[in-house]
Structure 1
Amino acid sequence: MIKKWKSSLVLMCFIWTIFGIFTFWHVGYQYIGKSYFQSENFQHEIDNFTAELGPLVLNVPNAADFKDEIEITQSEIEDHRNYYGTLGQQIDNIKQQYGQRIQEAVDANAAELQIKLETERDNKIKDITANFENDEHVRKKIRAEKEALIDKYIKSVQAEAKSFGKNYDYWSYELTNIETGKIYRAGDVSESSAYKIKYSERNPLYAGNISNNLRDIFYSTEAYVDVDNFYETAEYMGVLTISKKAVQSLGVMQDYNRFHRNQYTFFFVWLTSIVTAIFAWRGRKVVLQTVTNMKEKEILTKVKFDFQVILVLITGFMYLFTSQIVFESIEYTYDYNYQYNYVRSILDSAFKIAVLFVIGSAFFVQLIWLYTRVDTLKKLEENMKSSYLWSLGDSMTDLFINRSIALHSLVMLAAAFFGGGSLVASMLRGGGFPVLVLAMCMFVGIPALVVFLSRMGYLNRIMKDTKNMAEGRLNRDVKVKGKSPLAGHAENLNHLREGVRTSMHEQAKSERLKTELITNVSHDLRTPLTSIITYTDLLKKPTITDEERQQYIQILDKKSERLKVLIEDLFEVSKMASGNIELHRSRVDLTQLIQQAVGEHKEDLTQSSLDLRMTMPHDPIYAYVDGQKWWRLIDNLIVNVLKYALEGTRVYVTLKRTADGDAEFTVKNVAKYEISEDAEELFERFKRADASRHTEGSGLGLAIAQSIVDLHGARMSIDVDGDLFKVIVRIPAV
């Protein structure tokens, strides 16, 4: 508890320090090392006093002198003449003004009024006609208007001079016109002064003859007096003073006391800010630790980063605004004392300071929480990526993945905003429903709405079909409508549906082949193993003859060799399938390699009653292959022929160079067993054309051959036409 109170006190000291800096930045230059007479307010007062002293006291203008300076230009005459239109327009206007009134007088038999109105009308028409016929007539009228303005200004100066003397009665002066030698005095400049200004011939007081406060009198819509023609300045030397006695007058005393009260108050604020700054600096660690461990922190950590930043900015703005209110409350408390009770004024300021502490505490606590949330670059990056603005940026980026959709979206939004904005603007103007807005709604807004609704309906249809696909119903195509991006998406979904169906088919096939693989492996391994176990048991019998024992041992040797071949083939195909095998490529003559590999099996082919027909090119065909592995490939294909080719048929072995520059090796034979339609399955491990598995072999020959081809980056395919079985291997030739 004590720790929390200490941290709260340190935080308030920090807030008060910041407030002291805030006030010093605002008004420090006004109160540090200055007296009231050096303040900005007093300097403004001097400027206003000296500016009005000339035209109201020292250089009071003379109406006759101003009138002598009046100038009337031809442009002014033309403007005055045509102010209400042409001659014909003005005459028609006068006739319309008096026509109805004269008619009413005639209807009422008021002959005297009728004559009076007609006379006024005729005189005005005569005057207007004279305006267009005689420039001097217009000039006299303009002069009379300008002289009236001058007279009005002179009267205003006389009235202003009286109030000027009362408002500035605490000023004393003794000024001498340098040119005329005339002396002007007010008050007693010999009294002890609180403030004094001296003017000399080298640094005189320049006093004009036109009051800035009364200049507007010369500006009229009908008559305009150019003040610059009248403006003159005179130079004065002498003294302007405010005596110490005069300072006690209400006009000076109020501002004087306000300045010194504010000066003392802000000095107190700044001195206490220095003290609280020291205390805040010493207790900063306690505040950071206490604020960091507050349970309320967990609430804000659950919100998005940018939302917390906005909260900090709002609280910061409120803190700044409250600081301004407290500052003004302190600075202008003196003014309020004349309207409110002094104690009430103090309580009001104290309440505002308390609010400042509350809002300031909320701001700095949130600021510390925000800092602890992003105190490392990694945390900052993580929080920014999880923010709303980042998500919005991603969404905008995603929008432009397909520019067509982005363009359509922007056009739709623009049409909606334009149509709605035009409609609202037309309603607010109160001018009905303009034809232009109606036309825009018909030709832009309504078509855009129809297209939008149509696209949304099509999108809903696509979403429904996508849901059906997700639920496993793949028998129905998504409807492709038009050439829009949505149609392209529908077409992609159809491709995806076909891919899923194919994948499901391949998965079912894979499961079936996996089951067959396990069955075949079990069968092929169990057969020799069973024979080994059986004949081993027979050898244990003491009653068998030596001849039988030798016969059993031969059988065991044969079955063991069979089991060894199975295991080695399985190990080798596994290594090849996993890619865990190293190739030693070299430039090999495929023609020679095939002739040697096939030549080793000529005797076996002859014993199997197979007629070998080889077709080899005259020139060598080279390829970069692993000679040992490629020999195994050829050997496996010939062994496959020996096992499954029909006796008494021909076997064709061909090597040629294709038009594409590949070396093509082909083995063709007539199968003794019926081959399934899916001949590619023969590449699977333990798969045989002999489904009853009566033939010798591991069922891995073609699987090993396929692995060798894959390792070399070559291609191998099987073609079955009835009982004709053909294997084709292609590899780039050198």
Structure 2
Amino acid sequence: MATKWKSSILIYLWAFLLTFSLSGILALISTGTKYMNRDFFHTPEFHSELDQFAGYLSMFELNETTPEEAKAAITVTKDDIDEHRFRYGGLDQQISNIRAQYESRIQDAQAAKNEEIANALIKERDAKIEDISNNFASDDWVRPKVVKEKETKIDEYFKKRDQFKYDFLRYQKELTYYFKDPETGKVYSNQNNENPLKQKDMLYLTNFSISSDSYLHYGPGGYEDLADVLSINSQKTIEGQIGIAKTLSASSPLMEQYKDFKRNQLIILSYCLAGIIGLLLSLYFSKKMTAVNAQVESWRPIYNKLPIDTRVGLFLITALLSIIFIFLVNENFYNIYNNLYILASEIVFALLGTAIFVAITHVQRKFLQVDLKSWTNVKEEWKKSLSVKTWQGGKKVFKSVRAALVEAFLDQSTGMQMFILLTGVFFIGAAALMVAMNPIFVILYIFLLAGAGFPLGMFLVKKVGYFNRIVQKTNELAAGKLGEDLDVTGKSVLATLAGNINVLKQGVKHSQSEQAKSERLKTELITNVSHDLRTPLTSIITYTELLKGNDVSEEEKTAYLEIIDRKSKRLKVLIDDLFEVSKMASGSVELVKAKVDLNQLLQQALAEYDETIRASSLQFRVNQAGQPIYALVDGQKLWRVFDNLIGNILKYSLENTRVYISIKTVEHQALITFKNVSKYELSDNVDELFERFKRGDTSRHTDGSGLGLAIVKSIIDLHDGKLDIEADGDLFKVIITLLLGD
């Protein structure tokens, strides 16, 4: 047994090495080339950012043209005039389009005998036609329009250019640059001095040349035609330097990318190198596994019990899964920016899982290599294959179908109806074929359809509809919906089935009624009650025993009696709350509803706690509607809801936090929201807080009974309202929805 386990482990280790090596080589092919650069500052991504910055620098510092100067430099060429003139076609085409635009509107106005509007439209149309005609008659007429368009476009450019200012300022904080205009001697730099950058002060430094019009490629698009007027003051190329200062903060985005690149480069290249070493080791061990292969042969009898087609299918599946999983292992490198420990864990677990499939595929290959080497052996194995067994199983299915037909005639009436329907469908189909072959039979076919086809079809539709209603009713019963009884018509099998279902439904209905009644009488509070009642009872018993002692002073007796009194009152509160929530759960509480202003009721509840609120460190923020919000509710019970919720807030809120209470109307409903920050950790399943004796303070440091929210929910349910609880971390929210009064 130990030898078998040893062989299994050796095969698995070999498969793991092979999987690891293939993964490493694949990682080198897919992602390794990206990290062949010396560092991040020599990658295409970083140089792309340098080009972007150079474009911004050209836009905001090198290009000194103002909007006014650009507008003053506008020129109108013959091409500009022709483009404007023929933008919407030739003269005749544009005049035709204008006439078509106004023709229907003028006719409508004339038909309505509104000559004033008709004349205005005619005047407007003629003015446009005259303008178009002037466009084609005179260049001077077009030139001011072209100038106006270019001025508008210049204004648009400068407005859009400001949107790139933020990115330029961000680059200015991270990149150090020095450029000098060879013509004017003006220096463009973000250093305090005007000296060139020094290599010793730079983590990275490169020479760079910037064309004054490079901003056209990195700024707002669509303004290339304005290059001659936007760059009138700066048609030049300047040389300079751009670098990364050694003093740049390590938390800057570029330095973060630099460090990430170095880390990822080390990980990827180390992994690829380890993969190559793993490949060499796997090739070495494959030659040393002769004894292991002999031991694996002992598994062949178990494997050969599977049909040959199943074995081939399993081999193909495991081989395909091995390939897929090896690729999926390398997908983890796309998450290389995550925590290194998590990345390593994911890769190791993925390799361990993939190695299982590789090992299984390897073992299957060894077995199948022997089984499939002889055609005679293949034919013998095929006779025992799953496909042959499936064919034989099909024959058995045929026999079962025949038996099913016999069962179909167990009720002769149903069987005969089915037979007549099938026969009728057959003859109608045959008659249709005859009509297709010889149209002379079409009249006979029409009579056949009218006399037999239509009645049979209606009969079938009715039966199918009746059957579907029965199926729908059974689905409703399975889902717990009773509904109305099925109609029982006739004496068919379906009618009998419908009657039986009605009987079953009545039985289920009676059973549910009895079960609901039984559930209301049960109590599931024994454990919780004993826990919350034991503490005060234990205190009362303990201090009562102490009072019986003879060596107790009067001062101690007074203290003990005070404790017994306090615990007794605590016990009474628990029992009263328990009785109240039990009465509400059993539905024995009657509501005395009246039209109540919820704003005023909430204010009264807050007033009851005014001194407690002032004494606490909590800051209450109450947002109420400006007008009364009336609802038909039991004021006393709803006051209890507000009282319990405010009391819970004071007990369980974190000190020195804010409490938000709001009330508003939304679509004929009152929405009351209480929000506070809990001082105790909340469970993910906040619905458990509705359970009786469930407390937000699980360690029970507070004096709550655990029944507050259960009472609140019961009262809201009695009002046909809705109570929702939400928790986001320690933020606790209670939302009450009530219907507004008429």
- Structure scoring higher RCO (CA < 8 A, sep ≥ 6) equals 2
Quickly name the TM-score band, shorter chain normalised: 0.3 to 0.5
Tell me the TM-score normalised to structure 2 length.
0.41
Tell me the TM-score normalised to structure 1 length.
0.42
